[in-house]
């Protein structure tokens, strides 16, 4: 349902101007906005501000020299809605400030009002026809003031003069020409086409002559340059040959120097390698000596430790046995004293008994028996005491023997340490090898311990009997152990034992 205010408010886009007229002389104009109008009292008209493209064709326009030409041009025309402010009066400045948009342009009320007077109510075709006829008439007037040559060769001057002549008429209609270009200039008699014949033929003639001249000069110059190039090529070939010879000579000299330098470097490398081998050999020997020294120090500490342990064990065991012997001796002594005292008391009791008997039998005989019993008790007590002392002496002798055994083991360890010190690392290695011999023999015979049954097969002969041959094979296998050890460690056990037996301090490591 239309609003009640739809007839009062009118709106327009930025390409349309609204023109309000009423009974007053003032005419209101806005561009791209809304305007309020009272029906029947005020009127709103719309005026399009779009750019119009118009093709102007002037047929058979006569030039100043009487030649008729046809000119086709294209112009862009629109209503002058905005303009640059003139800026020459104070009132204009105020009005420009009030009506300006963007600070650079202001609405051109006069042009819009003029265009409204001329074009409101007309169709676009009628407006374009008016513009076309106006521009065509001015275009024909300019054609009549120029020659064909000026018109054809200087189109920019022709376009500028047309614009200058059309400006006032367009301004009076409220219009402005945005652009104007000449699209085509022709004539019906071929005059314009023939204008280019003479220059064209002249240019062709000059071109032919220039081509011939240039070709002749080019051929002569080509021949000269070819000859000069041939000479220079030969010279370059000669220089190349000489350069190659010099290069080969220098290359041979350089190669000779390089070979000499490489030979010296190879010799230097060989000498350096030999020096390094010597240094490496010395370092290896020093390392082996340090290793042997370290092992010797370790074995020495081990022997010292074993010695201390053995001494402590011997002293502890000897002290324990001596203490036990003393305790046993004290016990035996105490028992002997107790037995002797018991016998003595028994003898005294028997003597008292006998003395009672003596009173009955006879004093003399009782005294003899009493003395006899006392002597027998004393003798028995002495025998028991002597037996206890003998047992104590035996225990003491056992303790001394155990101490002597411990001291002998310490002497053996000291002797072993002395041998290691005298024979350096070889002594240590030899000692370890000798300790390992029983383990090697045990490892060789270990598989036989798991054999449940053995069958010996002989093929005759006294030396091939089964058990004896087996025994010889086992003996041979054990006898080959020193050779295997020598192959693996460079240590000759037989020679080492021989040197040790002869008291020689020598290293029998081979290699």
Question: How many Å apart are CA 147 and CA 69, to the nearest integer?
Answer: 10
Closest CA to 339 of 289, 301, 384: 384
| Residue 203 pLDDT class (50, 70, 90 cuts) | low
User: What CA–CA distances, in Å, run from 510 to 425, 430, 433?
Assistant: 14, 14, 16
Number of H helices, E strands in the chain: 12, 11
Does residue 35 lie within any of the structural domains?
A: no
- Mean pLDDT over 33-40 rounds to 76
Question: pLDDT digit string (tens) for 98-139?
Answer: 444 445 678 777 888 888 888 888 888 888 898 899 898 988
Q: What is the mean pLDDT of residues 204-232?
A: 81
- Out of 195, 219, 248, a domain closes at 195
Q: Is residue 138 part of a domain?
A: yes
pLDDT digits (tens, 9 = 90+) for 8-19: 787 777 778 787
Terminal alpha carbon distance of the chain: 127
At 511 the pLDDT is 40
Average pLDDT in the 317-333 region? 67
Residues 293-309 have a mean pLDDT of 74
pTM assigned to the model: 0.37
Which residues touch 29 (CB under 8 Å, ≥6 apart)?
Answer: 17, 18, 19, 20, 107, 109, 112, 113
Query: Which two three-digit tokens encode residue 353?
Result: 């008994």
> Of the spans 32-41, 151-160, 276-285, which averages the highest pLDDT?
151-160
Asked whether the beta carbons of 475 and 466 are under 8 A apart, the reply is no
Q: What is the number of domains present in the chain?
A: 2
Contacts 24+ apart (CB under 8 A), 266-274: none
**Residues 396-413, mean pLDDT to the nearest whole number:** 72
pLDDT of residue 472: 76
Q: What is the pLDDT of residue 379?
A: 73
Is 310 a member of any domain?
Answer: no
Q: Give the count of beta carbons closer than 10 Å to the beta carbon of residue 430.
A: 22
Q: Say yes or no to pLDDT of 171 above 80.
A: yes
> Which carries the bigger pLDDT value, residue 85 or residue 153?
153
Is the Cα dihedral 398, 401, 406, 412 positive or negative? negative
Q: Helix, strand or coil for residue 12?
A: coil
Q: Establish if 337 belongs to a structural domain.
A: no
64-68, 183-187, 327-331, 479-483, range with the lowest pLDDT: 327-331
pLDDT for residue 336: 62
In three-state secondary structure terms, 187 is strand
- 20 touches 112 (CB < 8 A): no
Q: How confident is the model at residue 50 (pLDDT cuts 50, 70, 90)?
A: confident
Collapsing DSSP states into helix, strand and coil, what is residue 246?
Answer: helix
Tokens of 168: 């006032």
Report if residue 378 sits inside a domain: no
Out of 94-98, 141-145, 198-202, pick the least confident.
94-98
The residue among 96, 101, 117, 129 whose CA lies nearest residue 47 is 117
Mean pLDDT, the chain, whole residue set: 74
Rounded CA separation 341/378 (Å): 9
Nearest CA to 346 among 327, 373, 371? 373
- CA–CA separation, 133 vs 128, rounded Å? 9
Q: In this structure, is residue 157 part of a structural domain? A: yes
Last residue of a domain, one of 175, 195, 215: 195
Query: What is the band of 240 on the pLDDT scale with cuts at 50, 70, 90?
Result: confident
Select from 195, 224, 239 the last residue of a domain: 195
**Distance from chain centroid for Cα 200:** 75
- Strands (DSSP E) contained in 221-331 are none
Residues 271-292: what's their mean pLDDT? 79
Tokens of 336: 């002997």
Question: 1 falls in which pLDDT band (50, 70, 90)?
Answer: very low
434-486: pLDDT as tens digits: 777 777 777 767 776 667 676 666 655 555 556 677 777 777 777 777 777 76
CB count, 10 Å around CB of 174? Answer: 21
How many angstroms separate the CA atoms of 290 and 425, rounded?
A: 10
Establish how many alpha carbons lie within 13 A of residue 33's alpha carbon, considering only the half-sphere containing its beta carbon: 8
| Full residue range of the structural domain in which residue 502 is found | 425-449+463-511
Query: If residue 45 lies in a helix (H) or strand (E), which one and from where to where?
Result: strand 43-48
Give every CB contact of residue 227 below 8 A, 6+ residues apart in sequence: none
Could you tell me if residue 162 is inside a domain?
yes
Query: Does residue 225 form part of some domain?
Result: no
Residue with tokens 């002290």: 319
**Residue 64, domain CATH:** 3.30.479.30
Q: What is the mean pLDDT of residues 353-359?
A: 60
Is the CB of residue 115 less than 8 Å from the CB of residue 173? yes
pLDDT-wise least confident of 167-171, 200-204, 441-445, 459-463: 459-463
């Amino acid at each position: 349902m239309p609003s009640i205010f739809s007839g009062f408010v009118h709106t327009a886009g930025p390409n349309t101007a609204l023109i309000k007229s009423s009974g007053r002389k003032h005419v209101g104009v806005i561009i791209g906005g809304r305007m309020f109008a009272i029906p029947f009292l005020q009127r709103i008209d719309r005026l399009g501000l779009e750019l119009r493209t118009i093709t102007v064709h002037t047929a058979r326009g006569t030039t100043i020299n009487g030649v008729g030409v046809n000119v086709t041009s294209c112009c862009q025309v629109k209503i002058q809605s905005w303009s640059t402010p003139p800026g020459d009066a104070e009132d204009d400045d105020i009005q420009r400030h009030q009506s300006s948009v963007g600070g650079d342009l202001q609405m051109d009320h006069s042009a819009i009002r003029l265009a409204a007077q001329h074009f409101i109510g007309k169709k676009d075709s009628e407006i374009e026809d008016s513009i076309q006829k106006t521009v065509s008439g001015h275009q024909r007037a300019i054609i009549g003031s120029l020659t064909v040559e000026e018109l054809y060769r200087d189109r920019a001057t022709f376009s500028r003069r047309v614009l200058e002549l059309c400006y006032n008429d367009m301004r009076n209609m409220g219009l402005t020409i945005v652009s104007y270009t000449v699209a085509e200039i022709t004539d019906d008699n071929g005059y314009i086409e023939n204008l280019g014949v003479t220059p064209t033929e002249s240019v062709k003639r000059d071109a032919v002559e220039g081509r011939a001249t240039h070709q002749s000069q080019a051929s002569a110059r080509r021949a000269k340059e070819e000859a000069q190039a041939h000479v220079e090529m030969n010279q370059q070939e000669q220089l190349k040959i000489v350069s190659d010879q010099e290069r080969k000579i220098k290359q041979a000299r350089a190669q000779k120097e390089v070979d000499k330098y490489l030979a010296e470097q190879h010799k230097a490398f060989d000498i350096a390698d030999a020096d390094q081998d010597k240094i490496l050999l010395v370092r290896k020997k020093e390392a082996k000596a340090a290793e042997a020294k370290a092992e010797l120090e370790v074995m020495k500490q081990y022997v010292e430790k074993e010695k201390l342990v053995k001494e402590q064990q011997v002293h502890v065991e000897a002290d324990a046995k001596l203490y036990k012997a003393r305790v046993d001796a004290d016990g035996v002594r105490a028992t002997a004293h107790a037995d002797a005292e018991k016998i003595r008391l028994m003898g005294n009791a028997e003597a008292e008994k006998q003395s009672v008997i003596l009173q009955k039998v006879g004093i003399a005989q009782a005294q003899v028996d009493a003395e006899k019993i006392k002597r027998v008790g004393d003798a028995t007590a002495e025998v028991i005491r002597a037996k206890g002392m003998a047992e104590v002496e035996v225990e003491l002798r056992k303790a001394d023997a155990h101490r002597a055994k411990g001291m002998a083991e310490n002497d053996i360890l000291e002797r072993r340490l002395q041998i290691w010190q005298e024979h350096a690392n070889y002594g240590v290695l030899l000692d370890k090898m000798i300790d390992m011999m029983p383990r090697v023999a045990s490892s060789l015979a270990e598989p036989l311990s798991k054999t449940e049954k053995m069958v010996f097969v002989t093929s005759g002969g006294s030396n091939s009997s089964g058990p004896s041959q087996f025994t010889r094979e086992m003996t041979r296998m054990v006898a080959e152990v020193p050779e295997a050890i020598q192959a693996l460690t460079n240590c000759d056990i037989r020679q080492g034992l021989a040197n040790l037996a002869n008291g020689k301090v020598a290293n029998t490591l081979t290699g």
